[in-house]
Amino acid sequence: MHIEIPLLRDLVLLLLISLPIVFVCGRLRLPTLIGYMLTGIVIGPSALRVVQDIHAVETLAEIGVVLLLFTIGLEFSLEKLVAMKRVVLLGGGLQVFLTVAAGTVAAHYIADFAWSPAIFVGFLVALSSTAIVLKTYVDRAESDTPYGRVGIGILLFQDLCIVPMMLFVPLLAGKGQVTAAEMVKTLGKAAVAVLLIVVMARRVFPFLLRWLVTLRSREVFVSFAVLACLGTAWLTAQAGLSLALGAFIAGVVLSESEYSHQIVADILPFRDIFNGIFFVSVGMLLSFDTLADAWLPVAGLVALIIVGKTLLALAAVKALGRATRIALTAALGLAQIGEFSFILLKTGSELSLLSQADYQVFLAASIVTMLATPLLMGVAPDFGYWLCRLTGLPDAPDVAPTELPPASGHVVIAGYGLNGRNLARVLRAASIPYRIIELNIESIRAGRKQSEPIIYGDGTRREVLHAAGIEGARILVVAISDATATRRIAALAREMKPDLHIIVRTRFVSEMNGLYALGVNQVIPEEFETSLEIFARALSEYGLSRQYIQQQVEAIRREGYRLLDAECPGRERLITELATVIENATTAAMRLPPDALAAGRSLRELALRPTFGVTVVAVQRGSETLINPDADFRLAAGDVLVLLGGPQSLEKAMESLTTEVAQVGGGTPFEVARAVERPLP
């Protein structure tokens, strides 16, 4: 019997049409988000009308947002979130307040709305797209940049504002009355839900995870991960908060679990599929008829939203004491309408706060701002740098300038994060002079408490590098996570001092060639250094000595980290050399049996080196270890020997050493039967 499932048909067509569009966008170097939104426009009700059950697709899209926020929360930590409290409360609070106020005034005086609908418009404009912004930051590896952290903090505060906004919408429409007791009850209910999620994620989930791991069932583990994500989202939705906020909170708390990385790996496939559906659903909302009939109001509203939200977010981030370039880059990432605004918009339209025509215009403008977001975020770092140079905008005024004594032959450290702090600690211990450049106000205050020679400023500015004494420095170390700023700093420093030795930390190997082209002497890519550590530890398990492993690691670095690149000219030669080392320089350990012929004999008598090409590099006897024993050293039963040589030579030597005592008249000591090697305890 044939059963028609409309949703299954819609999903098949959705995925079938999206693949070529996303592929073309990839070839044109456009974000995949744009490809998915274009797919939604093509298959939506205003174009081909392929999808029949739009509501079901929107439900799947909500699941995509929930999974996205859950996985992002898993990559955070409570410590990092607490450290962001000033950004969340002050920065987010200012951004929402300023945008609501400006949107209300603009709607009342420019669009001639009454005050209640105008305030409602302010609510709509204040929210930005958590899903699009976070997805773009994750794809571009910018979540941990200064502007990425600020943007994420403000987005979190916007999600917290959903509850009071939803409470006020009926009040604005005059369709209901919200008493103070009801507001306190609703907010208290939301707070209890968040507290319950935190308790469950910290107390209940870890216990369940440990129990589930003992079952050794991947299916059960994946099911629990999905349950934790969707269950917490549902719980917060019941309390009036957004689904995404609950999932994010659960992810943050679970990030401290030892199983967080496995949870991320299991959730990722689901997240990527549902995320694509979410962006398709956004594109499906766009109406070509509205664009054709009211293109001028839509275009004006788009320009007003992007420019206005950018300027207001810029003011909010500047109030946090961030540099103008960082503030502008973060602000451009928030210059769109958020997905939760659609829910508010639908509610307000049902309560007659907006007419159907205004609803369609605002909806079309919102989708256009979302489509523009990945492009705006892509050019934001370079645009922020260019605008600051063009206008000469000043840095934050609330940081007292620091006059450092003149220095020469010192190290300039750009960035006082983990890498910068560790380097400063080592340099101080070695009595090597250094100067630090930092943009984060909290980091600067912490550094000054430690009496660090740290100055506030943007290293992409000539005057800041001059204040750090770059002309007299010997080394510049750029240890920041902002790729655009890293390139600018390196280029400017090379221009100011041509013979400066520049060392740069970067995230990916793909960024190395561009940095070398700017004159950087050494690039340390985190991606490749991680692979080198794995490479070294894997080889150590095969018995190679530390010396030989270190030689190979250094050989890879000398080749510019290109050994694992298939196009590297010297790749085959290096791999051949490494294979030779593995073949000829393996180490092995063995315990000498009580009845072995070698017991009681000296190394000179055994003649392992001339006979087998094997050297005894160490002997452990009881709790004592002797390194490089001399030729007269006599072995004893129970000694643990560390041997160095080729694999075949080691096998023969170990066979002879473990041979049992036998009466073999006239024979040599090693002309006896083969014994089985005994493993170390």
CATH code assigned at 601: 3.30.70.1450
Q: Which has the closest alpha carbon to 488: 460, 467, 457, 512?
A: 460
Q: Which has the closest alpha carbon to 331: 505, 77, 91?
A: 91
Give the neighbor-by-neighbor strand order of the sheet with 624-627.
586-591, 640-645, 615-621, 624-627
Could you tell me if residue 666 is inside a domain?
no
Q: Is 188 exposed, middle or buried (0-12, 13-18, 19+ CB in 10 A)?
A: exposed
Give me the pLDDT at residue 393, please.
60
Residue 159, token pair as written in the block:
């999600």
Give me the pLDDT at residue 556, please.
62
Could you tell me if residue 455 is inside a domain?
yes
**Helices 146-160 and 295-319 meet at what angle, rounded to 10?**
110
Give me the pLDDT at residue 502, please.
92
Helix intervals (H) in 146-294: 146-160, 162-173, 180-199, 205-213, 218-238, 243-254, 260-284, 288-293
Give me the pLDDT at residue 584, please.
54
Same domain, 532 and 504: no
Amino acid at 533: E
Residue 583, token pair as written in the block:
């073949």
Same domain, 537 and 631: no
Same domain, 598 and 627: yes
Could you tell me if residue 396 is inside a domain?
no
Residue 130, token pair as written in the block:
């958590």
Could you say which residues of the chain have pLDDT below 50?
1, 396-400, 563-567, 582, 661-681
Give me the pLDDT at residue 212, please.
79
Same domain, 503 and 563: no
Could you tell me if residue 671 is inside a domain?
no
Q: Quote the distance between the C-alpha of residue 47 and its chain's center.
A: 37
d(CA 554, CA 525): 15
Could you tell me if residue 665 is inside a domain?
no
β 586-591/434-438 pair status: unpaired
Give me the pLDDT at residue 164, please.
78
Judge whether 657 and 642 are in contact, CB under 8 Å: no
The boundaries of the domain holding residue 554 are 528-583
Same domain, 565 and 497: no
Specify the CATH number for the domain of residue 466.
Answer: 3.40.50.720
CB atoms within 10 A of CB 510: 10
Specify the CATH number for the domain of residue 89.
Answer: 1.20.1530.20
d(CA 147, CA 91): 12
Same domain, 451 and 474: yes
With H, G, I as helix, E, B as strand and everything else as coil, classify residue 359.
helix
Phi-psi region for residue 561, left (φ > 0), alpha (ψ -120 to 50) or beta? Answer: left
d(CA 274, CA 60): 6
Q: Which has the closest alpha carbon to 125: 87, 158, 148?
A: 158
With H, G, I as helix, E, B as strand and everything else as coil, classify residue 29.
coil
Which one-letter DSSP state was computed for residue 201? I
Could you tell me if residue 613 is inside a domain?
yes
The DSSP bridge partners found for residue 645 are 586
Q: Which has the closest alpha carbon to 227: 194, 258, 284, 267?
A: 267
Judge whether 310 and 331 are in contact, CB under 8 Å: yes
Strand extents, DSSP E, 321-453: 411-414, 434-438
d(CA 648, CA 634): 25
Give me the pLDDT at residue 80, please.
67
Amino acid at 453: P
Residue 386, token pair as written in the block:
């260019």
Same domain, 577 and 592: no
Could you tell me if residue 142 is inside a domain?
yes
d(CA 429, CA 432): 8
Could you tell me if residue 555 is inside a domain?
yes
Residue 597, token pair as written in the block:
């012929």
The DSSP bridge partners found for residue 544 are 586
For tokens 């794809």, name the residue.
Answer: 139
CB atoms within 10 A of CB 515: 22
For tokens 């050019």, name the residue.
Answer: 379
DSSP 68-96: HHHHHHHTS-HHHHHHTHHIIIIIHHHHH
Q: Quote the distance between the C-alpha of residue 489 and its chain's center.
A: 22
DSSP 228-246: HHHHHHHHHHHTTS-HHHH
Same domain, 230 and 278: yes
Q: Which has the closest alpha carbon to 641: 677, 605, 595?
A: 677
Number of domains in the chain: 4
Same domain, 481 and 509: yes
β 615-621/411-414 pair status: unpaired
> Which among 583, 602, 620 is the end of a domain?
583
Same domain, 199 and 267: yes
Sign for the pseudo-dihedral over CA of 654, 655, 659, 664: negative
Same domain, 497 and 553: no
Give me the pLDDT at residue 6, please.
72
d(CA 528, CA 531): 5
* Residue 220 to residues 197, 230, 250, 542, 584, Cα–Cα distance (Å): 21, 15, 19, 35, 47
Sign for the pseudo-dihedral over CA of 506, 510, 516, 522: positive
Same domain, 433 and 495: yes
Q: Which has the closest alpha carbon to 481: 398, 434, 414?
A: 414
For tokens 């609510």, name the residue.
Answer: 123
Sign for the pseudo-dihedral over CA of 216, 220, 222, 226: negative
